[in-house]
Amino acid sequence: MKLTILGTSCMVPTKERNVSSHYLDYKGEGILFDCGEGTQRQMNIGGLNRHKIKKIFLTHWHGDHVSGLIGLIQTIGNKEEAHVLDIFGPKETKKRISSLIESCDFQKKVEIKIKEANPRGLEKIYENKDYFVEVINLYHSIPTIGYRFVEKDKIKIRISKLKREGVKEGPHIKRLQEGKDMIYKGKTYKNKDYTSVIKGKIFSYVPDTAYGPNCVKIAENADILLCESTFAHSLSEKAKETKHITSREAAQIASQANAKKLILTHFSQRYTEIKEVLDDAKDIFPNTEAGFDFMKVVF
Ligand SMILES: [Zn+2]
Ligand SMILES: [Zn+2]
């Protein structure tokens, strides 16, 4: 899968950084995490096709995370083909989307399905055969949820071993794919001896929040942890006041969650140079990078 970061500024766009939105390409399906103002244009510049977007996961209803929604929905609806858009978000998402739709006059060709999350712990909000998405409540100034995109493990059949033992390919092999033992010409082939597991990848997104245990839960074992870090440690009091985390706290979350790689985002516009923010995190979690607009991460 490939993640394209479309905005890394907090609250307002700057010349170098747009506000929050992130495009995850999973086998050609477009999955958007947040949709700040200017998302469409960022997608144009980033070479992404908005008509591929099938799901949008919203973290909270602050403008810098949702203001691009109405324009995006409108443009997706300009095409003749029917388009179904699944939108997920915290409580009140249904009410707010319907207000948005009412705010503009356009042909409603996009069928929008909305699912609100009000999780008590870590909860699954979506699942298909390839992946599932979990949510958890975070600690921001309004209802805010973090997300965890989990690719399912895959069973790989050891075809060459089977061939060496005289087994021909055919529908009988399906049983191994399903995790069961296979019987071929009267002989039992144990699943564990003829398959191996390819671990699925995990992408976690911790958006605007104060520090707390749920930040770690949603980030557990993430291959890529995208985490807000509005402030450097020197402004930790300001971070507490505004219910944000510092880059040092982001690094602590990555470390406690056993994440493999941390990408920082949602920087206060006071930082024209991101070095202080990045260095604070790297002291604790060395495999950290500062996100930038149009950064692409393949994993
Ligand atoms: Zn924000
Ligand atoms: Zn916010």
Q: Within a 10 A sphere around the Cβ of 72, how many other Cβ atoms?
A: 20
- pLDDT, one tens digit per residue, over 112-160 is 999 999 999 999 999 999 999 999 999 999 999 999 999 999 999 999 9
| Nearest listed ligand to the Cα of residue 20 | 1
CA distance to 3, 149, 271, 272, per residue, from 198 (Å)? 20, 16, 41, 41
| Position 196 pLDDT exceeds 90 | yes
Q: Find the 283 Cα to ligand 1 centroid distance in Å.
A: 25
Longest dimension (CA), the chain: 72
pLDDT band at residue 179 under the 50/70/90 scheme: confident
Q: Find the 33 Cα to ligand 2 centroid distance in Å.
A: 14
| Nearest listed ligand to the Cα of residue 65 | 1
Query: Residue 155 phi/psi, 5° resolution?
Result: -95, 125
| Position 177 pLDDT exceeds 90 | no
Q: Find the 178 Cα to ligand 2 centroid distance in Å.
A: 43
- pLDDT, one tens digit per residue, over 215-229 is 999 999 999 999 999
- pLDDT value at residue 82: 86
- pLDDT value at residue 195: 95
- Domain 2-153+199-298: state its class: alpha beta
Query: Residues 73-96: what's their mean pLDDT?
Result: 93
DSSP string, 155-177: EEE-HHHHHHTTPPPSGGGHHHH
Question: What are the extents of the domains in the chain?
Answer: 2-153+199-298, 155-195
64 in catalytic set = yes
- pLDDT, one tens digit per residue, over 256-294 is 999 999 999 999 999 989 999 999 999 999 999 999 999
| Position 96 pLDDT exceeds 90 | yes
pLDDT band at residue 79 under the 50/70/90 scheme: confident
Mean pLDDT of the chain: 95
